[in-house]
């Protein structure tokens, strides 16, 4: 296909350039013009971080073919602070603490700019609706709304511009003050370079071949046709690993590419480095793999049965980790109890959905140091593992942590850095890999789905006598953080309560599903969901207020935990009091009293929304006003 | 009424820093020419605000302004080990070690000035970019003090390491789980107010009141940001997100199918920060990243029950599940009434 000649005005400058016709406007801006401020979060029009102005209209540049920009006036995030001075809105984002990882922020700033242009007096609810096409995974949006409201008020002269300035620390007191985030200016302006924004001279582009099967033996891999393609520099498989293969936070059970067999759909099998991503993609398609199907196992309870398919030879029972906690005698505790309640709970797998998909750069430097630049949440551990895998001393392995566009535990695993290092060593050129959103979702860790049975025995006065919990979690195909997740889940399972008899068992199980790994709140979310739900069920039965039953059982200063650790100060009672008071909680047993409560709808509660009413019925609403 | 409101609450606890193992971190500090501070430690922002927290801590300990603190890159070949960005450990582990390293650098500078001014080191104060001796006329800028130190052949630097007094838990075959997994624990409690549409089954979380102990809040706005973000992620898991596999193949592999909370789904979050200082670390700080997420889901499920009398045991509480449970509840109630008649 022939290139298109694109004439456009970009950030106020005339641009006349040839562009590959398959490019999206986003690629053209980022790759050809090096305007990397706007990011790619999904490539599908769903997240908004790629949003730019096309002839003044907010557009998702990942959805726009470059040829459509012919003759247009394009403004990217870089246009807002061209002189170096941030716009009022950018300053407001800085002041309000509206950026966290920052990856969504260029798009948010563009959308917010559009919102205030459309209606300089937009109220909070309208601002929310106008930002509805932009996803932020970090902030919970609240500080973003605060920022837009602040900018609106400054622009309208309702608030002085000094409200945007740094918090005063002239008294010398720095701790406890809302000092503005030092990384925010680089984020609100799009200047911060994430790994996927970085390039190096001579850099190759990497693509990965992934397994279409959940459980299969690899009979053969033929890379010759891929290597024969012009522009392909290197192809690697597990056969290229020079050292002892295997990574994982606890057990090193995962090869950097499938070795001998594949254990889940999406597992890496081979990787290609080529002059451009398209060539690398074609080379990946030219790799021939012969598989022999193996019986898969997808259900963790089934995986625990005798005779179930075995995912890893070292664990014939498919148990990655079992964690027990034992205190007292639970059976005696239940026998003594006035009321025993047993329920079952389950939680689903969820995706971290950090807005920044995995990306990384690797090169071998002048001192033969294999260097990997990536948004890794644990470069210390990664370098230990990589040194062993590539058989080099630690001093010859270097990890640099690039700004992380959201992690939440999902970037703790060395999922792709090993492939990058190997390719850089083989090609002796810099290599870069940027995942698509789909690749990120199917091939990286999830939160452990769980099934929990919880039995609790209580006395009529609300004292918990005994607690028995069994949780089975689907750890998926590889160990990653499963062992640690099971441990934290178990230690915290019974909640911050004094319980004389406790029996907890958590099991992380291998299956042929997408691996589960570290995820913010690391197992404690699953177990405490069950315990805290059950406390309300019991409170209803006993006619106790939910705060009351927790206070009756609350650990106090000097309490002994379920792992028999003696605590010092315990702030639980303060937390209960504070939440109860702040919410103006009306005391009473949890007996479906929503309809009669007197504490609802305070002014620190947001109005409920009826989706789309404002935009669908703008005319009628205006008429009504 | 098609829409019903209710409230629920839940409490939580959490351990700070790595679990059931010894955690550690190190840092270097230098009071630089011109009176700025340079901190090198294995940390990069993952969005939580750690760089700002460290700048505040170094500024506080050394006596300069936070904007005059520079933090070096996280690079295994150029910075001391600070290990991973997770486990709600950054403020606790790296914050404390940066405080210790900063104290050592400050002490080097203070010792030089004490000698020059012929005063006891304990009478020297620093703050806001200045250094002075109490009850004297001696007061100069930090930049001038650094120049004095360098003229005497001293570069004001410090380094420190911070480790936890923790143990494994007995989790072997016949283990009882006993051990000392963390040295700092935090506690929290959240109240949720929801509205359930009884026609569609849709749940809106209208407000959450979140009270969390963080030890000491270095940057309250940052703490709120962690609480707000954590609550919204929990609402995603509680109400809508669902990574689904069919025979190992993901059917939710893009954001079109994998539903995430947007600006219209989020509650008003009212944060209450509790400060129960950690007695072990030099700063009293603890952590907030993960605990913020723990009580939200049960608080919301308890609130849904309060509103419509159905309890969701299997997450997520999608509109379909709520409707099904409400229908089931109605059916049971009708049967009970009929049986009674
Ligand atoms: S909407 Fe364009 S990258 Fe997500
Ligand atoms: S700050 Fe919005 S996605 Fe991270």
Read out DSSP for A216-276?
Answer: EEEEEEE-HHHHTSTTEEEEE-GGG--S---B-SSS--B-SS-BSEE-STT-EEEEEEESS
Contact B84 A378 (CB under 8 A): yes
Q: Is the CB of A47 under 6 A from ligand 2?
A: no
Are B77 and B39 in the same domain? yes
* Residue A442 scores a pLDDT above 60: yes
Residues in B closer than 8 angstroms to A488, CB to CB, are 15, 19
Q: Where are the beta strands (DSSP E) in chain B?
A: 3-15, 24-31, 37-41, 69-71, 124-127, 130-133, 139-141, 157-163, 185-197, 203-213, 245-246, 249-250, 268-274
What is the C-alpha separation between A149 and B153, in angstroms, rounded?
53
What tokens were used for A96?
């309000």
Residues in A closer than 8 angstroms to B65, CB to CB, are 169, 174
Asked if A309 has any chain B CB less than 8 Å from its own CB, the reply is no
Q: Which residues of B are catalytic?
A: 290
pLDDT at A617: 41
Query: Is A471 a domain residue?
Result: no
Residues B7-24: pLDDT tens digits? Answer: 999 999 999 999 999 999
**A466, A502 Cβ separation under 8 angstroms:** yes
Asked if A487 has any chain B CB less than 8 Å from its own CB, the reply is yes
* Residue A1 scores a pLDDT above 80: no
Closest C-alpha to ligand 2, atom 4: A101
Query: Is B216 a domain residue?
Result: yes
Q: Which residues contact B169 (CB under 8 A, 6 or more apart)?
A: A323, A487, A491, A563, B20, B175, B177, B178, B179, B181
What is the C-alpha separation between A486 and A507, in angstroms, rounded?
7
Are B283 and B141 in the same domain? no
Are B86 and B139 in the same domain? yes
Are B108 and B205 in the same domain? no
- Between residues 73 and 132 of chain B, which touch chain A (CB distance below 8 Å)? 73-77, 81-87, 127-128
The alpha carbon of A228 and the centre of ligand 2 are apart by a number of angstroms equal to: 42
The dihedral over CA atoms of A540, A544, A549, A552, expressed in degrees to the nearest 10, equals: -150
pLDDT at A606: 95
The alpha carbon of A541 and the centre of ligand 1 are apart by a number of angstroms equal to: 49
Q: Is the CB of A62 under 6 A from ligand 1?
A: yes
Question: Which structural domain range is residue A119 located in?
Answer: 88-168+179-190
- Section A220-232 average pLDDT: 98
Query: Is B67 a domain residue?
Result: yes
What is the C-alpha separation between A572 and B261, in angstroms, rounded?
29
Q: Is the CB of A40 under 6 A from ligand 1?
A: yes
Residues A122-143: pLDDT tens digits? Answer: 999 999 999 999 999 999 999 9
Are B188 and B322 in the same domain? yes
Structural domain count of chain B: 2
Residues in B closer than 8 angstroms to A178, CB to CB, are 219-221
Mutate to test the interface with A, among B255, B297, B321, B325 (most CBs of A within 10 A): B255
* Residue A488 scores a pLDDT above 50: yes
**Which atom of ligand 1 is nearest the CA belonging to B255?**
4
Q: Which of A253, A479, A314, A326 is nearest to B172 (CA)?
A: A326
What tokens were used for A175?
């701790």
* Residue A411 scores a pLDDT above 60: yes
The alpha carbon of B293 and the centre of ligand 2 are apart by a number of angstroms equal to: 17
Are B243 and B150 in the same domain? no
Are B97 and B139 in the same domain? yes
- Section A587-599 average pLDDT: 97
* Residue A625 scores a pLDDT above 70: no
- Which of the four pLDDT bands, split at 50, 70 and 90, describes residue B340? confident
Are A108 and A141 in the same domain? yes
What tokens were used for A55?
């002839």
Calculate ∠ Cα A552-A553-A556, nearest 5°: 100
Angstrom CA distances, A341 to A188, A230, A362, A507, B295, stand at 52, 68, 55, 22, 21
Q: Is B38 left (phi over 0), alpha (psi -120 to 50) or beta?
A: beta
Q: What is the pTM of this model?
A: 0.97
CATH number at A100 reads 1.10.150.120
Asked if B19 has any chain A CB less than 8 Å from its own CB, the reply is yes
Q: What percent of chain A has pLDDT over 70?
A: 97
Q: What share of chain A is helix, strand, coil (3-state, %, to 5)?
A: 30, 25, 45
Counting ligands in written order, which one lies closest to the CA of residue A43?
A: 1
pLDDT at A82: 85
Last residue of a domain, one of B112, B144, B160: B160
Are B308 and B264 in the same domain? yes
Are A109 and A159 in the same domain? yes
**B184, B286 Cβ separation under 8 angstroms:** yes
Are A8 and A72 in the same domain? yes
The residue of chain B with its CA nearest to that of A171 is B128
What does the mean pLDDT of chain B come to?
Answer: 97
- Section A281-293 average pLDDT: 98
The residue of chain A with its CA nearest to that of B311 is A533
Last residue of a domain, one of A77, A107, A140: A77
* Residue B165 scores a pLDDT above 80: yes
Closest C-alpha to ligand 2, atom 2: A136
Contact A565 B179 (CB under 8 A): yes
**Which atom of ligand 2 is nearest the CA belonging to A137?**
3
Query: Is A216 a domain residue?
Result: no
pLDDT at B338: 87
What is the C-alpha separation between B59 and B62, in angstroms, rounded?
5
- Between residues 360 and 379 of chain A, which touch chain B (CB distance below 8 Å)? 369, 371, 375, 377-379
**Å from B57 to nearest chain A CA?**
7
Are B10 and B51 in the same domain? no
What is the C-alpha separation between B101 and B106, in angstroms, rounded?
9
Are B212 and B123 in the same domain? no
* Residue A201 scores a pLDDT above 90: yes
**A271, A485 Cβ separation under 8 angstroms:** no
- Section A434-447 average pLDDT: 98
Contact A380 B76 (CB under 8 A): yes
- Section A186-212 average pLDDT: 98
Are A109 and A183 in the same domain? yes
**Å from B153 to nearest chain A CA?**
29
Q: Which residues contact B330 (CB under 8 A, 6 or more apart)?
A: none
Last residue of a domain, one of B106, B128, B160: B160
Q: Which of B78, B157, B275, B16 is nearest to A488 (CA)?
A: B16
Query: Is A292 a domain residue?
Result: no
Buried b (16+ CB within 10 A) or exposed e, A41-74: bbbbbbbbbbbbbbeeebbbbbebebeebeebeb
Q: Is the CB of B47 under 6 A from ligand 2?
A: yes
The residue of chain B with its CA nearest to that of A129 is B264
Residues in A closer than 8 angstroms to B195, CB to CB, are 608
* Residue B63 scores a pLDDT above 90: yes
A222 phi, psi to nearest 5 deg: -115, 110
Residues in A closer than 8 angstroms to B26, CB to CB, are none
Whose structure tokens read 């000649």? A5
CATH number at B155 reads 3.30.365.10
What is the C-alpha separation between A155 and A235, in angstroms, rounded?
55
Query: Is A131 a domain residue?
Result: yes
* First-to-last C-alpha distance (Å) of chain B: 27
The dihedral over CA atoms of A114, A120, A126, A129, expressed in degrees to the nearest 10, equals: 0
Angstrom CA distances, B276 to B193, B217, B221, stand at 27, 10, 18
- Between residues 233 and 252 of chain A, which touch chain B (CB distance below 8 Å)? none
Contact A383 B248 (CB under 8 A): no
The alpha carbon of B261 and the centre of ligand 2 are apart by a number of angstroms equal to: 13
Counting ligands in written order, which one lies closest to the CA of residue A436?
A: 1
Asked if A295 has any chain B CB less than 8 Å from its own CB, the reply is no
- Section B262-270 average pLDDT: 97
Are A29 and A102 in the same domain? no
Q: Which of A180, A435, A297, A480 is nearest to B52 (CA)?
A: A180
Query: Is B341 a domain residue?
Result: no
Last residue of a domain, one of A77, A110, A137: A77
Query: Is B259 a domain residue?
Result: yes
Counting ligands in written order, which one lies closest to the CA of residue A135?
A: 2
Q: Which of B30, B31, B35, B50 is nearest to B92 (CA)?
A: B50
Query: Is A186 a domain residue?
Result: yes
- Section A527-543 average pLDDT: 98
- Which of the four pLDDT bands, split at 50, 70 and 90, describes residue B86? very high
The alpha carbon of A607 and the centre of ligand 2 are apart by a number of angstroms equal to: 24
Asked if A480 has any chain B CB less than 8 Å from its own CB, the reply is no
Of A44, A563, A568, Cβ closest to residue B181: A563
Last residue of a domain, one of B127, B160, B193: B160
Query: Is B39 a domain residue?
Result: yes
Are B147 and B221 in the same domain? no
What is the C-alpha separation between B169 and A324, in angstroms, rounded?
10
Ordered alpha helix ranges (H), chain B: 50-62, 96-117, 142-151, 220-235, 296-308, 319-340
**Which atom of ligand 2 is nearest the CA belonging to A99?**
1
Counting ligands in written order, which one lies closest to the CA of residue A194?
A: 2
Q: Is A601 left (phi over 0), alpha (psi -120 to 50) or beta?
A: left
Last residue of a domain, one of A159, A190, A221: A190
Whose structure tokens read 């596999």? B245
**A509, A436 Cβ separation under 8 angstroms:** no
What does the mean pLDDT of chain A come to?
Answer: 96
Is A361 in a helix, a strand, or coil?
strand
Asked if B180 has any chain A CB less than 8 Å from its own CB, the reply is yes
- Which of the four pLDDT bands, split at 50, 70 and 90, describes residue A609? confident
**Which atom of ligand 1 is nearest the CA belonging to A47?**
4
Q: Is the CB of A47 under 6 A from ligand 1?
A: yes
* Residue A83 scores a pLDDT above 90: no
Query: Is B111 a domain residue?
Result: yes
pLDDT at B1: 58
Residues B197-231: pLDDT tens digits? Answer: 999 999 999 999 999 999 999 999 999 999 999 99
Is B230 in a helix, a strand, or coil?
helix
CATH number at A52 reads 3.10.20.30
* Residue A622 scores a pLDDT above 70: no
Are A116 and A160 in the same domain? yes
**B245, A297 Cβ separation under 8 angstroms:** no
The residue of chain B with its CA nearest to that of A130 is B263
Question: Which structural domain range is residue B238 located in?
Answer: 3-15+184-336
DSSP state of A404: P
**Which atom of ligand 1 is nearest the CA belonging to A46?**
1
Q: Is the CB of A43 under 6 A from ligand 1?
A: yes
Structural domain count of chain A: 2
Of A180, A518, A568, Cβ closest to residue B279: A568
Query: Is A108 a domain residue?
Result: yes
**Å from B151 to nearest chain A CA?**
27
Query: Is A306 a domain residue?
Result: no
What is the C-alpha separation between A380 and B39, in angstroms, rounded?
18
Are B268 and B287 in the same domain? yes
The alpha carbon of A61 and the centre of ligand 1 are apart by a number of angstroms equal to: 7
The residue of chain A with its CA nearest to that of B237 is A350
Contact A532 B11 (CB under 8 A): yes
Calculate ∠ Cα B214-B216-B218, nearest 5°: 105
Contact B313 A528 (CB under 8 A): no
Q: Which of B282, B285, B281 is nearest to B164 (CA)?
A: B281
What is the C-alpha separation between A414 and A411, in angstroms, rounded?
8
- Which of the four pLDDT bands, split at 50, 70 and 90, describes residue A616? very low
Q: Which of A208, A188, A216 is nearest to A436 (CA)?
A: A208
What tokens were used for A136?
């932020």
């Amino acid at each position: 296909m022939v290139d298109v000649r694109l004439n456009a005005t970009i950030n106020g400058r005339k641009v006349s350039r040839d562009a590959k016709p398959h490019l999206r406007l986003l690629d053209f801006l980022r790759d050809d013009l090096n305007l990397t401020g706007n990011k790619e979060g999904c490539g599908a029009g769903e997240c908004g971080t790629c949003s730019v102005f096309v002839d003044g209209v907010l557009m998702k540049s990942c959805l726009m073919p470059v040829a459509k920009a012919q003759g247009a006036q394009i403004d990217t995030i870089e246009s807002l602070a061209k002189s170096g001075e941030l716009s009022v809105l950018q300053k407001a984002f800085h002041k309000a603490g509206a950026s966290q990882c920052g990856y969504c922020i260029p798009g948010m700033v563009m959308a917010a700019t559009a919102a205030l242009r459309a209606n300089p007096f937009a109220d909070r609810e309208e601002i929310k609706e106008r930002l509805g096409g932009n996803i932020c995974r970090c902030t919970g949006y609240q500080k973003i709304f605060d920022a837009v409201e602040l900018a609106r008020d400054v622009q309208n002269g309702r608030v002085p511009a000094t409200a945007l300035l740094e918090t005063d620390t002239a008294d010398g007191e720095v701790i406890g003050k809302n000092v503005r985030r030092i990384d925010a200016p680089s984020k609100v302006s799009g200047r911060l370079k994430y790994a996927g924004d970085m390039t190096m001279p001579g850099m190759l582009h990497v693509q990965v071949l992934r397994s279409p099967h959940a459980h299969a033996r690899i009979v053969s891999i033929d890379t010759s046709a891929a290597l024969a393609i012009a522009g392909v520099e290197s192809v690697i498989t597990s056969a290229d690993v020079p050292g002892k293969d295997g990574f994982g936070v606890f057990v090193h059970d995962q090869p950097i590419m499938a070795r001998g067999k594949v254990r889940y759909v999406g597992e890496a099998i081979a990787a290609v480095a080529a002059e451009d991503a398209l060539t690398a993609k074609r080379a990946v398609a030219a790799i021939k793999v012969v598989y022999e199907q193996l019986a898969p196992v997808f259900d963790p309870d089934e995986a625990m049965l005798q005779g179930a398919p075995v995912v890893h030879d070292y664990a014939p029972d498919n148990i990655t980790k079992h964690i027990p906690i034992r205190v007292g005698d639970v059976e005696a505790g239940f026998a003594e109890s006035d009321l025993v309640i047993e329920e079952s709970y389950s939680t689903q797998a969820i995706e971290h959905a950090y807005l920044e998909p995995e990306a990384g750069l690797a090169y071998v430097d002048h001192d033969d140091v294999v260097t990997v630049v990536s948004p890794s949440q644990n470069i210390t551990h990664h370098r230990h593992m990589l040194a062993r895998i590539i058989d080099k001393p630690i001093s010859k392995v270097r990890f640099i942590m690039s700004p992380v566009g959201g992690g939440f535990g999902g970037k703790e695993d060395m999922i792709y850095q090993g492939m990058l290092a190997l390719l850089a060593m083989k090609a002796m050129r810099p290599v870069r890999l940027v995942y698509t959103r789909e690749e990120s979702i199917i091939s990286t860790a999830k939160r452990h789905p769980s099934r929990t049975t919880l039995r609790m025995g209580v006395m009529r006065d609300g004292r918990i006598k005994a607690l028995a919990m069994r949780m089975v979690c689907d750890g998926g195909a590889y160990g990653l953080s499963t062992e640690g997740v099971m441990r934290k889940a178990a230690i915290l399972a019974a909640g911050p309560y004094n319980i004389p008899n406790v029996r907890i068992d958590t099991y992380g199980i291998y299956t042929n599903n997408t691996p589960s790994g570290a995820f913010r709140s690391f197992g404690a979310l699953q177990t405490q969901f069950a315990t805290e739900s059950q406390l309300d069920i019991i409170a209803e039965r006993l006619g106790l207020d939910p705060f009351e039953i927790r206070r009756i059982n609350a650990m106090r200063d000097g309490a002994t935990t379920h792992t028999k650790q003696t605590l010092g100060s315990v702030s639980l009672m303060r937390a209960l009091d504070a939440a109860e008071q702040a919410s103006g909680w009306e005391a009473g047993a949890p007996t479906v009293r929503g309809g009669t409560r007197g504490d609802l709808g305070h002014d620190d509660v947001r109005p409920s929304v009826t989706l789309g009413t404002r935009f669908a019925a703008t005319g009628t609403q205006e008429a009504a006003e | 009424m098609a829409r019903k409101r209710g409230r629920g609450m839940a409490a939580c606890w959490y351990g700070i820093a790595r679990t059931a193992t010894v955690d550690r971190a190190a840092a270097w500090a230098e009071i630089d020419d011109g009176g700025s501070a340079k901190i090198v430690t294995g940390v990069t922002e993952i969005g939580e605000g750690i760089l700002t927290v460290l700048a505040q801590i170094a500024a506080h300990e050394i006596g300069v302004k936070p904007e005059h603190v520079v933090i070096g890159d996280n690079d295994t070949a150029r910075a001391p080990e600070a290990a991973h960005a997770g486990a709600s450990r950054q403020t606790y582990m790296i914050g404390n070690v940066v405080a210790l390293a900063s104290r050592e650098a400050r002490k080097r500078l203070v010792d030089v000035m004490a000698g020059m001014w012929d005063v006891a080191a304990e009478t020297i104060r620093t703050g806001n970019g200045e250094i002075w001796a109490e009850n004297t006329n001696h007061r100069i800028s930090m930049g001038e003090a650094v120049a004095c130190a360098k003229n005497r052949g001293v570069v004001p630097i410090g380094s420190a390491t911070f480790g936890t007094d923790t143990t494994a838990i007995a989790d072997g075959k016949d283990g009882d789980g006993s051990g000392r997994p963390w040295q700092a624990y935090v506690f929290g409690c959240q109240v949720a107010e929801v509205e359930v549409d009884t026609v569609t089954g849709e749940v809106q979380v209208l407000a959450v009141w979140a009270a969390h102990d963080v030890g000491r809040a270095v940057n309250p706005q940052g703490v709120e940001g962690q609480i707000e973000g954590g609550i919204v992620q929990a609402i995603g898991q509680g109400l809508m997100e669902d990574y689904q596999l069919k025979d190992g193949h993901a059917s939710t592999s893009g954001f079109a199918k994998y539903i995430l909370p947007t600006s219209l789904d989020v509650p008003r979050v009212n944060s209450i920060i509790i400060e129960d200082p950690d007695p072990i670390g030099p700063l009293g700080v603890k952590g907030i990243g993960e605990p913020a997420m723990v009580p939200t889901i049960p608080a919301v499920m308890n609130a849904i029950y309060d509103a419509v009398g159905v309890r969701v045991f299997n997450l997520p509480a999608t509109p379909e599940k709520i409707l099904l449970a409400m229908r089931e509840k109605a059916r049971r109630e009708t049967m009970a009434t009929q049986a009674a008649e």
